[in-house]
Amino acid sequence: QSVLTQTPSVSGTPGQRVSISCSGTASNIGDHTVHWFQQLPGRAPQLLVYVDDQRPAGVSDRFSGSKSGTSASLAISGLQSADEADYYCATWDAKLDGWVFGGGTKLTVL
């Protein structure tokens, strides 16, 4: 049972826009910055969004992050087959005094 709640799976067709949600509480998302990671099959995770809505250099602007209250979202526009991966949110939890991750969302491009 993960501290942050993510929908286990989401799907879309090429070119479509999809959104992945991450729900937490006041002690984690409500008071701390959120990161998003993409993990391609058999690969290490890669930082996709940091500090709620910032993209590292080299990350496509098709990926965008947002946060409101105790929830965060990752939107992917112009869906491509290469986007098929697992996506994880993460934030600091003050009660646990450590980083916590969502359970992950598997994105399937139909």
Partner 1 sequence: QIYLVQSASEMRKPGASVTVSCKVFGYLFTNYGVTWVRQAPGRGLEWMGWISAKNDDSKYAQKFQGRVSLTTDTSTRTAYMELRSLTSDDTAVYFCAAGAMAYCGPSCLAPSFDNWGQGTMVAVSS
Q: Which residues bind partner 1 (CB under 8 A)?
A: 2, 31-33, 35, 37, 39, 44-47, 50-51, 56, 88, 90-92, 94, 96-104
User: Considering the complex, what minimum distance in angstroms separates the CB of residue 29 from partner 1?
Assistant: 10
Decide whether 61 or 97 has the Cβ nearer to partner 1. 97
User: Considering the complex, what minimum distance in angstroms separates the CB of residue 28 from partner 1?
Assistant: 9
Judge whether 22 and 8 are in contact, CB under 8 Å. no
Distance CA 79, CA 99 (A): 29
User: Considering the complex, what minimum distance in angstroms separates the CB of residue 14 from partner 1?
Assistant: 27
Decide whether 32 or 79 has the Cβ nearer to partner 1. 32
Decide whether 47 or 77 has the Cβ nearer to partner 1. 47
Judge whether 90 and 34 are in contact, CB under 8 Å. yes
User: Considering the complex, what minimum distance in angstroms separates the CB of residue 73 from partner 1?
Assistant: 18
For 1-110, where are the alpha helices, taking DSSP H only?
Answer: none
Give the E-state strand segments of the chain in sequence order.
Answer: 5-6, 9-12, 18-23, 34-39, 46-49, 63-68, 71-76, 85-93, 98-101, 105-109
